């Protein structure tokens, strides 16, 4: 019998990071503990390049593609974050009640059939009851998958921060997604990552930045006029590394400037995950 001590946080977002590989009667099993999160088998190759770049395949294994059948076939509409074997986090503005949705996990290239990827229908979608589409407030939603996904080297859950945690100004984080590579451009085929330092709320809420649109339940990141989240990145994660090397998802891509993807002093704005831990726990308990 194997045991390990875990410091359990909300949503089983915990700090135990070891993986058990066990051979029984010459059959090899790869066990990922229920408390494992935030440490990819293949760590991301980090750089602070200007603009985004292709990621190392499967180095952000909690990144999902949310797809709708709005055009008669499945198409990528938003990103999202795998939280557990049954639950995915995304943005409320990604959801339209007229359409059906599925979640594709373990993907690197959206156009290629890849070993280790899986597509599951959404069994339930719960948007925040106080979501305000005009002000982009409470822009958060949870998706319950139609069946439990099996964790692997390509599919792992993210860690989440403790409730109420606020990132400091210039905290180094990365946004990931298959969003448009430029304003009005095509969606990326291969998953992209971009370095986005956090902009403190006192700066982001200034009149020449986002002013009152940026609330204390949001995280701003970027704003250098070069690098930003773009259309199609919506709902995806803002990934920030802990001192122990694990990654917490602190944000859900919510909105950017209507003038384009990379506008000076108009950073990408994320729903601040730490402000919604209690809401997420309540939803996941009741469904």
Number of continuous H segments (helices) and E segments (strands) in the chain: 2, 15
Which pair of structure tokens corresponds to residue 110? 């959206």
Give the residue among 143, 15, 16, 173 at the shortest CA–CA distance from 83. Answer: 143
For the chain, helix, strand, coil in percent to 5 are 10, 35, 55
53-54 vs 87-90, strand pairing mode: unpaired
Q: What residues does 142 pair with on adjacent strands?
A: 89, 126
H-state helical runs in the chain: 201-204, 277-286
Residue 58 contacts residue 42 (beta carbons within 8 Å) = yes
DSSP state of 124: E
Q: Which residues are catalytic?
A: 93, 139, 234
């Amino acid at each position: 019998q194997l045991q390990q001590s875990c410091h359990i946080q909300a949503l089983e977002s915990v700090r135990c990071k070891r993986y058990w590989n066990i051979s029984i009667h010459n059959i090899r099993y790869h066990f990922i503990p229920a408390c494992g999160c935030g440490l990819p088998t293949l760590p991301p190759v980090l750089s602070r390049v200007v603009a985004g770049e292709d990621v190392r395949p499967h180095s952000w294994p909690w990144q999902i593609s949310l797809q709708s059948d709005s055009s008669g076939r499945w198409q990528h509409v938003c990103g999202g974050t795998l939280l557990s074997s049954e639950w995915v986090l995304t943005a409320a503005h990604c959801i339209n009640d007229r359409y059906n949705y599925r979640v594709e996990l373990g993907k690197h290239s959206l156009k290629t059939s890849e070993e280790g990827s899986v597509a599951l229908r959404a069994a339930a979608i719960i948007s925040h009851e106080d979501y305000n589409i005009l002000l982009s407030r409470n822009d958060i939603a949870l998706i319950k998958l139609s069946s439990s996904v099996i964790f692997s080297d390509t599919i792992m859950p993210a860690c989440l921060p403790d409730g109420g945690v606020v990132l400091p100004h210039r905290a180094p984080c990365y946004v990931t997604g298959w969003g448009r590579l430029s304003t009005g451009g095509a969606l990326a085929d291969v998953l992209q990552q971009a370095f986005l330092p956090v902009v403190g709320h006192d700066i982001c809420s200034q009149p020449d930045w986002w002013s009152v649109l940026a609330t204390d339940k949001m995280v701003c990141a970027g704003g250098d006029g070069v690098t930003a989240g773009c259309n199609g990145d919506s709902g995806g994660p803002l990934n920030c590394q802990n001192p122990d090397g694990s990654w917490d998802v602190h944000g859900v891509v919510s909105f950017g400037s209507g003038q384009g993807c990379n506008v000076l002093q108009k950073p990408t704005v994320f729903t601040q995950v730490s402000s919604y831990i209690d809401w997420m726990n309540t939803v996941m308990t009741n469904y």
